[in-house]
A and B are shown apart, each in its own frame.
Chain A
Amino acid sequence: MTLWLYLHFPSLQLDALFRQPDVGIKPLIIVDEKRNEVVQLSQLAIDEGIRVGMGLGSASSLCSELKVLPYQQQVESRLLKRIAHWLYSVTADIALYPPNGLLLRVSNMLTLHQNLNSYWQHLAQHLNRLALSYHYATGYSPYAARMLARQRLDHICADQHYLQQKIAEQPLICADLEPKVINHLAKVGVHCFDDLLSLSLPALSKRFNIEVVNYIGRLTGQLQHPVNFYIPPEHFEQYLELYYEVSNLQYLEKPLLKLYQLLDRYLRLKDKLAAEVLLVLHQRDSDDLSFSVTAAQGEYRADKWKQLTQLSLESIKLNAPVIAITLKVTRTLNKYAQRVDLFKGSQGSLSSSELVSILSAKLGKDKIKGLQIAHDDRPEVANQLTAPFSVQAKILKSELLRPSLLLPTPVPPTEAIQIVSCPERVVTGWWDDHPVVRDYFIGRSETGRWLWLFKDKNQQWFIHGMFS
């Protein structure tokens, strides 16, 4: 059976707000407007006696200096994606359970780790960097893991018997069922999972409706539970909401550094460099202000990016206070790995095709050429430019003495030239639209330049190349 791990983030919106720890801050609560109850609250608010589930009225009567934010589900969903993206470097199969849960498939990852504990240690270490509060539990089905994590089991274990027992202990209220269905079950005296689990699926389907059967079937792993796994986008984009509004650009330094540190880590994991980033400052009641910062060489270090950004910030004027920042990488480069040769010292290690792709990305494909020899006696036809690496070297041989540089179009000579060779007659091309009747000579000009010239059938002289 597959082992699953569920991560439940009870206060995602609260944890993700940017807060400066040293400033004396007010107690903060996040209130669900629809239900008018406190859903998330900071430690200071707990100290004041406020609890989850209280109404806004009773909360504000307990504390006079209360900061209240509305609960926004889409903010949490966005943050959840960010966490999934973050964890993707450590674990492969992640499913999103918006607004505040992540389901991870553990079994496949265990082949890479010694045991479940080392896997969890590795994962938790990575997750703790985000400094979020979370609850977790394992289970042999997605529903089991989810239910136990939401019940704050906070225990990692693969013991089937123990998990079974834990599930059986839980009250039915925490099941992922409609309140109506739970009510209905309570009326017939079913309060605990144990009551349902002791029955077989056919027996359940006789007594209860299809929803309950499906749920229990999936919980116990008897029915298939399809899971959509998260596939990370190939780019870096981070959104950071500020705890307070910033109208002085200098105060953006710290939140920016936080974003750049994430970028730093992202790039380091991918072994890439960012060449250009786009910063969007979301202003209150005003249009977003966006500007890009570039590093010609490519850079990944957070402090360097901060430095570069400060330079650009100097020329920027805010229309309204900033409430949030988005950082997006618009161009990345491959890091030039340094290959160190014992005798020759460090060497770049880019393959030739990588080099060509870099060059053609910036200059354009038609600017990078390779060489080819066509089997033709006309020099301008024989010496061709093609796409790089498109020809085989073995078949291209030539024994003729030819100038190293051919002029794109032959030009009449402007100085006295002494002919030093016998003529080489080229009469060909009568079958296509480019007939050639020429006598080629090697000449040496008065200044000592070695030229390749020809006399055409009208007895006119042209320079066609240089033996440079």
Chain B
Amino acid sequence: MNKLIDILQHQHLVWQGSKKATVSVGESSGYQTLDEQLAGGFTQGVTEIQSEPGIGELRLLLPLLKQAFSQERLVVFIAPQGIVSAQALAAQGFELDKVLIVYPDDQQQALWAAEQCLRSGACHSVVMWLNQALEVHQIKRLQVASHTGNSHQFILRVNKAESLSLPFDLSMSLQAHEQGVLARINKRKQGWPSGDFTIGMADYWPALTVQARPDNVVHFPKVKVS
């Protein structure tokens, strides 16, 4: 009988009332709309962000990552698809001596490095680019590590690569939008999924938003008078 309960517990099919729900207040993401949706901001744990590359997925995280420096901790980028620009980060007020870039050979190494960084306590956040399928136990390990080290793990990928649902603390998908990004919360621990909402980035990057056309302009008629 006990064995059966053990098995069920192991598969997370039983929820026990005695388990204390640890409500942790998240760190502000720097975007008001997102903070409202997340009830405070990003909590520590593993966050998945599905998005096309180049629509602002990394810029979405930068205000949060910047908080690492007030805590004298590191920000680690693992397997970026290119060279993380020092100039871009410095323009946002990053302290470059607290930024590490890791170029692992394969996904296995990337996950290992992420786990070490998360667990060490020296890192505030780890941003990792992945493109292969993940397994449940890998996410679990990252979760345990991030709780040990009190750190954030962000996994950036284009789309979901596996059929089963992974135990992310937060899963978001992003789409391009003229004023920033169009986000949707797919799943969230201690919360509900959301519909689409816009995260405006005009405050941080005014040059990277499409200016709304003024609506009082009348186009000059191009019809030829015959």
Per-residue contact bits, chain B 137-167, to A (CB 8 Å; 1 contact, 0 not): 0000000000111100000000000000000
What residues of chain B lie closer than 8 Å to A445, measured between beta carbons? Answer: 54
Given contacts A369-B101, A393-B95, A468-B54, contact A405 B80 (CB under 8 A): yes
- For the complex, what is the distance from the CA of A403 to the CA of B59, rounded to whole Å? 10
Is the C-beta of A362 less than 8 angstroms from some C-beta in chain B? Answer: yes
A348 touches B119 (CB 8 A): yes
What residues of chain A lie closer than 8 Å to B58, measured between beta carbons? Answer: 404-405, 468
B84 touches A349 (CB 8 A): no
Binds B, one of A166-174, A187-195, A351-359: A351-359
Residue on B with the closest CB to A352? B122
What residues of chain A lie closer than 8 Å to B91, measured between beta carbons? Answer: 398-402
- For the complex, what is the distance from the CA of A444 to the CA of B177, rounded to whole Å? 11
Is the C-beta of A434 less than 8 angstroms from some C-beta in chain B? Answer: no
- For the complex, what is the distance from the CA of A341 to the CA of B44, rounded to whole Å? 15
Is the C-beta of B221 less than 8 angstroms from some C-beta in chain A? Answer: no
What residues of chain B lie closer than 8 Å to A388, measured between beta carbons? Answer: 100
Is the C-beta of A383 less than 8 angstroms from some C-beta in chain B? Answer: yes
A467 touches B101 (CB 8 A): no
A404 touches B148 (CB 8 A): no
- For the complex, what is the distance from the CA of A448 to the CA of B59, rounded to whole Å? 14
Per-residue contact bits, chain A 331-374, to B (CB 8 Å; 1 contact, 0 not): 00000101101001111111110111011001100011111110
Residues in B101-119 with C-beta less than 8 Å from chain A: 101-105, 109, 112-113, 116-117, 119
Is the C-beta of A142 less than 8 angstroms from some C-beta in chain B? Answer: no
Residue on B with the closest CB to A362? B112
What residues of chain B lie closer than 8 Å to A399, measured between beta carbons? Answer: 91
Q: How far is the CB of B63 from chain A (nearest CB, A)?
A: 13
Residue on A with the closest CB to B57? A468
Question: Which one, B83, B119, B147, contacts A336 given CB within 8 A?
Answer: B119
Question: Which one, A347, A379, A391, A401, contacts B148 given CB within 8 A?
Answer: A347
A442 touches B83 (CB 8 A): no
Is the C-beta of B99 less than 8 angstroms from some C-beta in chain A? Answer: yes
Per-residue contact bits, chain A 146-164, to B (CB 8 Å; 1 contact, 0 not): 0000000000000000000
What residues of chain B lie closer than 8 Å to A350, measured between beta carbons? Answer: 119-122
Given contacts A348-B148, A398-B91, contact A391 B96 (CB under 8 A): yes
Q: How far is the CB of A419 from chain B (nearest CB, A)?
A: 12
- For the complex, what is the distance from the CA of A404 to the CA of B178, rounded to whole Å? 18
Is the C-beta of A382 less than 8 angstroms from some C-beta in chain B? Answer: yes
Q: How many residues of B contact A (CB 8 A)?
A: 56
Count chain B CB atoms within 10 A of each CB in A355, A384, A444 and give the residue with the most: A355
Q: How far is the CB of A50 from chain B (nearest CB, A)?
A: 56
Residue on B with the closest CB to A405? B82
Residues in A408-456 with C-beta less than 8 Å from chain B: 408, 420-421, 442, 444-445, 447-451
Question: Which one, B52, B73, B113, contacts A449 given CB within 8 A?
Answer: B52
Is the C-beta of A308 less than 8 angstroms from some C-beta in chain B? Answer: no
What residues of chain B lie closer than 8 Å to A372, measured between beta carbons? Answer: 86, 96
Classify the interface of chain B: helix, strand, loop or mixed: mixed
B54 touches A451 (CB 8 A): yes
What residues of chain B lie closer than 8 Å to A252, measured between beta carbons? Answer: none
- For the complex, what is the distance from the CA of A382 to the CA of B97, rounded to whole Å? 16
Count chain A CB atoms within 10 A of each CB in B54, B57, B112, B148 and give the residue with the most: B54
What residues of chain B lie closer than 8 Å to A363, measured between beta carbons? Answer: 102, 104-105, 109, 113
Is the C-beta of B34 less than 8 angstroms from some C-beta in chain A? Answer: no
Q: How far is the CB of B137 from chain A (nearest CB, A)?
A: 12
Is the C-beta of B218 less than 8 angstroms from some C-beta in chain A? Answer: no
- For the complex, what is the distance from the CA of A355 to the CA of B207, rounded to whole Å? 37
Classify the interface of chain A: helix, strand, loop or mixed: mixed
Is the C-beta of B56 less than 8 angstroms from some C-beta in chain A? Answer: yes
- For the complex, what is the distance from the CA of A257 to the CA of B7, rounded to whole Å? 30
Residue on B with the closest CB to A401? B207
What residues of chain A lie closer than 8 Å to B109, measured between beta carbons? Answer: 362-363
A391 touches B59 (CB 8 A): no
Residue on B with the closest CB to A389? B97
Given contacts A379-B87, A403-B88, A404-B89, contact A339 B56 (CB under 8 A): no
What residues of chain A lie closer than 8 Å to B38, measured between beta carbons? Answer: none
Is the C-beta of A407 less than 8 angstroms from some C-beta in chain B? Answer: yes
- For the complex, what is the distance from the CA of A371 to the CA of B52, rounded to whole Å? 25
- For the complex, what is the distance from the CA of A341 to the CA of B116, rounded to whole Å? 20
Is the C-beta of A316 less than 8 angstroms from some C-beta in chain B? Answer: no
Question: Which one, A359, A391, A406, contacts B116 given CB within 8 A?
Answer: A359
What residues of chain A lie closer than 8 Å to B113, measured between beta carbons? Answer: 359, 362-363
Question: Which one, A355, A367, A402, contacts B120 given CB within 8 A?
Answer: A355
Is the C-beta of A231 less than 8 angstroms from some C-beta in chain B? Answer: no
B59 touches A468 (CB 8 A): yes
Per-residue contact bits, chain B 34-65, to A (CB 8 Å; 1 contact, 0 not): 00000000000000000011111111001000
Given contacts A447-B55, A465-B82, A468-B53, could you give 16 more A-B pairs where the C-beta distance is less than 8 Å?
A347-B150, A352-B122, A354-B122, A363-B104, A363-B109, A367-B104, A370-B99, A373-B90, A385-B101, A401-B205, A402-B88, A405-B58, A406-B84, A407-B82, A449-B54, A468-B55
Q: Nearest 6 CB-CB pairs, A to B?
A: A448-B176, A348-B121, A449-B54, A466-B54, A350-B120, A371-B86
> Could you list which residues of chain B lie within 8 angstroms of chain A, going by C-beta atoms?
52-59, 62, 73-74, 80-91, 95-105, 109, 112-113, 116-117, 119-123, 147-150, 175-178, 205, 207-208, 210
> Could you list which residues of chain A lie within 8 angstroms of chain B, going by C-beta atoms?
336, 338-339, 341, 344-352, 354-356, 358-359, 362-363, 367-373, 379, 382-385, 388-389, 391-393, 396-408, 420-421, 442, 444-445, 447-451, 465-468
Q: List 15 A-B residue pairs with CB atoms under 8 Å apart, sorted by A's residue number.
A: A341-B150, A347-B149, A355-B116, A358-B116, A362-B113, A368-B102, A369-B103, A370-B99, A372-B86, A388-B100, A398-B90, A448-B52, A466-B53, A466-B54, A466-B82
